[in-house]
Structure 1
Amino acid sequence: MEAPSEALLPRRTGGWITFPFIIGLSSLISLSEFDVESIDAAQISNLVNGAGNLIPVLAAIIADSFLGCFTTIWISSIISLLGTILLALTATVDSLRPKPCEVGSTSCTPKPKVQYVVLYAAIVLATLGNGGTRSTLSTIGADQLADKPRDQGIFFNWFFFFWYSASVIASTAIVYVEDNVSWKAGFIICVAANVLGSAIFLMGSRFYTKFKPEGSPFTSLARVIVASITKREIKLPSTGEDFFQGCKVAPESLDVVVPSNTFRFLNRAAIISEGDDVKSDDSTSNRWRLCSVQEVEDFKTLIKILPLWSTSFFLGTTIGVQASLSILQALAMDRHIGPNFQIPAGSILVFVLIFTALFLALFDKFLFPTWRNLTGKSLSPLQRIGVGHVINFVSMGVSALVESKRLNVAKSNEGYNIVPMSVLWLVPQLALNGIAEAFHYPGQVSLYYQEFPITLKNMATAMNSMLIGIAFYLTTALIDVVRRTTTWLPGNINNGRLDNVYWVLVVGGVLNFGYYVTCAWFYKYQNMKEVADHSDFPSHE
């Protein structure tokens, strides 16, 4: 498939001038915080978290294939706004607001079905809207710096800094308003943030470089498989003239490109054989029988990067398990800060967001220059992800040590469900988790964006969301397996061995890191020109 053509826009499009408009929407739409005060809250949370991280993949497919980034973003923003408005209505309109049960009552008045319909419709719309902007916003931002690969890495750092910072505000300030002022006030703030963010993004429309998609890139990938199977009996030629080059993006480009030797059986899809109708404009009438060399190489790129991508499944699962278990630990610890304030158990995870945002802010100004001064080289995406892997399993080890101490204190105070040990003991493990995330999450997004074919840039930035969504369900399954096969996670964790669960994660993390190092060692960057512009890499790459 040919590279997407750039829309006709003024020359002053793209660049850092677009950054405030993109970050404005990213930060303000992330301020939305949704809570449900019911016994079904956990099930709703499972639905929202799992689907919320898989929806960006669907949005990426739509953006890459049909609508483009800009259109996908503003449509998603409207959907998010509608969902947030409906949530606000459930907190302000009497007929839509569930009536609380009377104190001491053994039964509650059944809720009207319309309340559930509106509530679930609001959650679905808000989840769709937020998911639709998550990956496409980072893609359109990186697209503005297409001629400055070095700046794209800087953009991803600051994009995720503002995203995590907004998540901190949503998890603290917005929740505080909902709990201590009113749900109505909290949702009004969320609606206002959505409106303001969308307005800021649209105000920057004239500055954006926009790329027009030219059909589904997944169809192109499917054609490579079909064509290579159709021509499986054809002998591979030794010269480049026998391979179909496709329509030239630049007419002056007359170099003959020969397919790489990896996965050579796919090269048959680009062989010009008897019966292939190649026209004078370098196009073909049967694209399911004859593919261009570039289409074949794009397919190979995806195959080569899949092992690296797979190393993050366990990484995402450990993060999810630690988050769930840290809340269990917090529930069994002293959460008082001073005489009048008690940290909500679920809010303990805000320390992960805080340290992720903090270290993202330090990267460009301190950490990356320090690394360069010590090693003489820039930190490559693969190295950055690897550091994240190491810090992650170190975090699990710290979690195990803290839990061992908590269990010892619990044994000394038998009969008490709340252990006289400050919940702040959990901060180091959560801080390390956040630091690890600051390394590996933006590093993966940057790597996939750099290495994926140009027709799949939105899918590249959505790859992490897919991982998180799948890891969310793997986390649930892993905890369920532990509960069924061991006595480590009883109803009262003071009687269990939660520290053993963490040690298992440490062992798994070390093994997974070994798998990652192996994949990274054999991986060769596909876009060497772009990489060379902003980083020095080990000689084997």
Structure 2
Amino acid sequence: MQGLGLLSMSTPPVFGPCSDYKEECIGHKQKVLFYISLLLIAAGMAGHLVSIGPLLSQQSESENEKEKGNENDNDNGNENDNGNGNEQNSGAETEEIDIKFMQVPGFFMVIVVLITGGIGLPYIKPWSLRFGIPTICSVVATLWFFTGFREYKHTEPNGSPLTTTLRVFVATARNILKPIPNREELSNEEDARSTSSLRFLDKAAINLPGEQEQIKWKVCSVREVEDTKIGIRMLPVWLTFIVIGIVLSIGNTYFLEQANHMDRKLGKIKVPIPIFLLFYKATSSVSAKFYSFLTVICKKKYAPPIGIATGMVFSVLCCITAAKVETRRLHRIRDHGLIEKPDERIPMSIFALLPQFMLLAAVDGITNTSISGFFRHQTPESMHKYLEYFTKGVLGLGTMASVLSVYVVGKVSERNHKPNWFQYTLNKSRLDRYYLVLAGLSTVNLFIYVFVAYFYKYKESPHGVDDEPEGGEMDEGFEDNKCCC
């Protein structure tokens, strides 16, 4: 809500030296508000993604427990007074029907808002109003959310893998001066296997005398130490996913901005831009099936890394294709004298962008499923419920890194008094060169990923079986006779 509000304020008519959408009307304050708003929106979207699922699940579980309690009370009431129990049961059923009945208009309201916003907002020209409408909707939704605070069911927190990892580091720091312990000296109530890599972390599991064993921030179990080791081993592979997020971010920014100024006519029909988003979603869904194909033709522990590498290859092809199309678009702009006319329609079909949209959708579909499969197969069981957040989080970091990449590339491009590749309008910008930079970055990232993935030690399927169902639990142990990351 705050991010959308600052985004609305960053437009010239609201908080600028003049009210026109011109370069001279955008000052330093507008840029500061704009970038702060992007960070707040990203943080808000991340918080919403992480919280909404567990919140609904938690409240549903609380409601189910309450219903079970009512059923037990009704059963006891039936033993003592059958008539009174029937009345209680009837009242509970009526209340449940009322709750479900109230959910129906809420569901339809969400659908209507999504359709109206997705189709209607792109046709609103003033950016202040285009940003202002979502801001008002966000305020209303927030106030509406707080009206249900009294019905919120409070539960005790169960902790998270991040807390466990922090505890392992703290316990290791407490015992940093002690020698690396033998396996017999470790706190191993779960009879977990201690691996030979990252042995210094075993200091967190050293047995302590007396009541100190009960202090969680002084001693951890071998299982907790091994889960932390797994996370550290995965970090080099995990970091290579950020570049994929950078490439995916251009689909929601520059691709759509290019489409806004191109010829949308298909015969006598004017094609709306959301049609391209439908093509994108359809291609993404179809390409996601590629991961299932990989799980059939090769071992499941190798299917995720192969799928991720395939997605990276598609990201290189997407950036090269986008650069070629943008070069052609810029030539068309120069040929028709439209460099100083950013609002004029460019005589080039919007369908020229379709190949890069479909390639980007293939990147999205293949890498999302493959990265999810990688986390599902390689993370410990304690982290399985956070798998979706791992995938979204790493790609979200790529989206945030794309802002930094634009800034760095822009600064480097204007060396030796050359014009910056990112100008006030796309007609003056050189997005084709930026796309080629992303293609080069993706190529380098692909080679780094192949190198890191080759030396990564993959978990085996339980009991050596390779055809376990998707999301099946993996063996906890790692091979210690190989180099690891």
Give the structure-2-normalised TM-score: 0.65
- Which residue type is aligned with residue 372 of structure 2? V
The 3 A distance-change label for structure 1 pair 237 and 518 is same
The 3 A distance-change label for structure 1 pair 491 and 236 is closer
Which residue number corresponds to residue 241 of structure 1? 184
User: Quick one: which of 349, 354, 357 aligns to 1:430?
Assistant: 357
Say yes or no: does 1:120 pair with 2:138.
yes
CA deviation after TM superposition for structure 1 residue 424, in Å = 0.4
Which residue number corresponds to residue 206 of structure 1? none
**DSSP 3-state at the match of 1:262:** coil
Q: Over residues 207-242 of structure 1, what are the superposed CA-to-partner deviations in whole Å (9 max), with x where a residue is unaligned?
A: xxxxx985444333222122222222222344x322
Question: Which is worse superposed, 78-87 or 349-358?
Answer: 78-87
- Which residue type is aligned with residue 458 of structure 1? K
1:99-118 alignment, distance < 5 Å: none
Distance in 2, Cα, partners of 1:531 & 1:68: 36
Say yes or no: does 1:300 pair with 2:229.
yes
**RMSD of the alignment, in Å?**
4.6
CA deviation after TM superposition for structure 1 residue 382, in Å = 1.0
Distance in 1, Cα, partners of 2:400 & 2:283: 25
Say yes or no: does 1:348 pair with 2:276.
yes
Say yes or no: does 1:511 pair with 2:477.
no
- Equivalent residues of 1:317, 1:475 under 8 A apart: yes
- Which residue type is aligned with residue 507 of structure 1? G
**DSSP 3-state at the match of 1:420:** strand
The 3 A distance-change label for structure 1 pair 407 and 321 is same
Distance in 2, Cα, partners of 1:242 & 1:225: 18
Which residue number corresponds to residue 291 of structure 1? 220
User: Quick one: which of 376, 380, 386 aligns to 2:303?
Assistant: 380
Q: Over residues 257-277 of structure 1, what are the superposed CA-to-partner deviations in whole Å (9 max), with x where a residue is unaligned?
A: 45212111110111224x254
CA deviation after TM superposition for structure 1 residue 316, in Å = 0.3
Which residue number corresponds to residue 48 of structure 2? 55
**DSSP 3-state at the match of 2:320:** helix
The 3 A distance-change label for structure 1 pair 79 and 267 is farther
- Equivalent residues of 1:90, 1:118 under 8 A apart: no
User: Quick one: which of 311, 314, 319 aligns to 2:240?
Assistant: 311
Distance in 2, Cα, partners of 1:480 & 1:59: 33
- Which residue type is aligned with residue 267 of structure 1? D
Q: Over residues 496-541 of structure 1, what are the superposed CA-to-partner deviations in whole Å (9 max), with x where a residue is unaligned?
A: 3221011010011111112212221221124553885238xxx979
- Equivalent residues of 1:57, 1:465 under 8 A apart: no
**DSSP 3-state at the match of 2:214:** coil
Taking every aligned residue pair, what percent have the same amino acid on both sides? Answer: 22
Which residue number corresponds to residue 161 of structure 1? none
The 3 A distance-change label for structure 1 pair 337 and 86 is closer
Say yes or no: does 1:223 pair with 2:152.
no
- Which residue type is aligned with residue 357 of structure 1? S
- Equivalent residues of 2:181, 2:203 under 8 A apart: no
Q: Structure 2: state its 5+ residue gaps.
A: 12-33, 65-99, 117-123, 147-155, 469-480
The 3 A distance-change label for structure 1 pair 220 and 489 is closer
- Which residue type is aligned with residue 429 of structure 2? G
Which residue number corresponds to residue 449 of structure 1? 376
The 3 A distance-change label for structure 1 pair 498 and 457 is same
Which residue number corresponds to residue 335 of structure 2? 412
Distance in 1, Cα, partners of 2:195 & 2:238: 22
- Equivalent residues of 1:336, 1:343 under 8 A apart: no
Distance in 2, Cα, partners of 1:214 & 1:303: 23
- Equivalent residues of 1:451, 1:527 under 8 A apart: no
Which residue number corresponds to residue 389 of structure 2? 462
The 3 A distance-change label for structure 1 pair 444 and 229 is same
CA deviation after TM superposition for structure 1 residue 41, in Å = 11
- Equivalent residues of 1:79, 1:125 under 8 A apart: no
Say yes or no: does 1:473 pair with 2:400.
yes
Q: Over residues 253-304 of structure 1, what are the superposed CA-to-partner deviations in whole Å (9 max), with x where a residue is unaligned?
A: xxx545212111110111224x2549xxxxx422322221111101111111
- Which residue type is aligned with residue 491 of structure 1? Y
**DSSP 3-state at the match of 2:440:** helix
- Which residue type is aligned with residue 385 of structure 1? I
